[in-house]
Structure 1
Amino acid sequence: MSFSNQIIWITGASSGIGKALAIELSNQNAKLILSSRKKEDLELVKQQCRHPEFVKIITLDLEEYSNLQPIADKAIAAFGKIDVLVNNGGVSQRSLAKDTAIVVDKRIMDINYLGTVALTKAILPHFIKNKKGHFVVTTSIVGKIGTPLRSSYAASKHALHGFFDSLRAEHFQDHIAVTLVCPGFVNTNVSKNALTGDGTPQQKLDVATENGIQPERFAKLMARAMKNKKEEVYIAGAKEKLGVYAKRFYPKLVSILIRKLSVT
Structure 2
Amino acid sequence: MSFEGKTAWITGASSGIGAALAREWANRGANIILSGRDEARLAEVAADLPTETLILPFDVRDDAEMQAATDKAVAWKGVDIFVANAGVSQRSAAVDTDIAVYREIIDIDLTAQIAATQALLPHVTGRGSGHLLFISSIAGKVGVPMRTAYCAAKFGLAGYADALRAELSQSGVQVHVIYPGSVATDVSRNALTSDGSKRGRSDSVIDNGIPPLEAAQRIIDAVEAGQREIIVANGMEQAMGEMRRTPDQLLDQVAGMVAAGYMEKMKAEG
- Name the TM-score, length of structure 1 as normaliser: 0.90
Report the equivalent of 2:187.
190
- 1:151-196 Cα offsets, whole Å, 9 max, x none, are 0000000001111100011111111110111000000111000011
Tell me how far apart the structure 2 counterparts of residues 35 and 203 of structure 1 sit (CA, whole Å).
23
Tell me how far apart the structure 2 counterparts of residues 147 and 47 of structure 1 sit (CA, whole Å).
37
Report the equivalent of 1:252.
none
Say which of 66, 75, 78 aligns to 1:77.
Answer: 75
Report the equivalent of 2:36.
36
User: What is the DSSP-based 3-state SS (H/G/I as helix, E as strand, rest coil) of the residue aligned with 2:132?
Assistant: strand
Say which of 214, 217, 227 aligns to 1:217.
Answer: 214
CA contact (8 A) 1:63 1:107 kept: no
- 1:237-263 Cα offsets, whole Å, 9 max, x none, are 121111234457xxxxxxxxxxxxxxx
> Given the superposition, is the C-alpha separation of residues 186 and 148 from structure 1 closer, same or farther in structure 2, using an over 3 Å criterion?
same
Tell me how far apart the structure 1 counterparts of residues 9 and 21 of structure 2 sit (CA, whole Å).
11
Tell me how far apart the structure 2 counterparts of residues 65 and 182 of structure 1 sit (CA, whole Å).
26
- Name the TM-score, length of structure 2 as normaliser: 0.88
Tell me how far apart the structure 1 counterparts of residues 25 and 242 of structure 2 sit (CA, whole Å).
30
CA contact (8 A) 2:18 2:85 kept: yes
Aligned-partner residue type, residue 228 of structure 2: E
> Given the superposition, is the C-alpha separation of residues 109 and 65 from structure 1 closer, same or farther in structure 2, using an over 3 Å criterion?
farther
Percent identity at matched positions? 40
Tell me how far apart the structure 2 counterparts of residues 165 and 126 of structure 1 sit (CA, whole Å).
20
Report the equivalent of 1:139.
136
Report the equivalent of 2:163.
166
- Which consecutive aligned stretches of 4+ in structure 1 deviate over 3 angstroms post-superposition? 245-248
User: What is the DSSP-based 3-state SS (H/G/I as helix, E as strand, rest coil) of the residue aligned with 1:172?
Assistant: coil
Report the equivalent of 2:83.
86
Say which of 241, 246, 261 aligns to 1:244.
Answer: 241
Tell me how far apart the structure 1 counterparts of residues 240 and 8 of structure 2 sit (CA, whole Å).
32
CA contact (8 A) 2:17 2:212 kept: yes
Note the C-alpha offset of 1:234.
0.6
- 1:8-56 Cα offsets, whole Å, 9 max, x none, are 10000000001111111111110110000000000000011123xx000
Aligned-partner residue type, residue 135 of structure 1: L
CA contact (8 A) 1:87 1:138 kept: yes
Aligned-partner residue type, residue 46 of structure 1: A
- Number of corresponding residues: 246
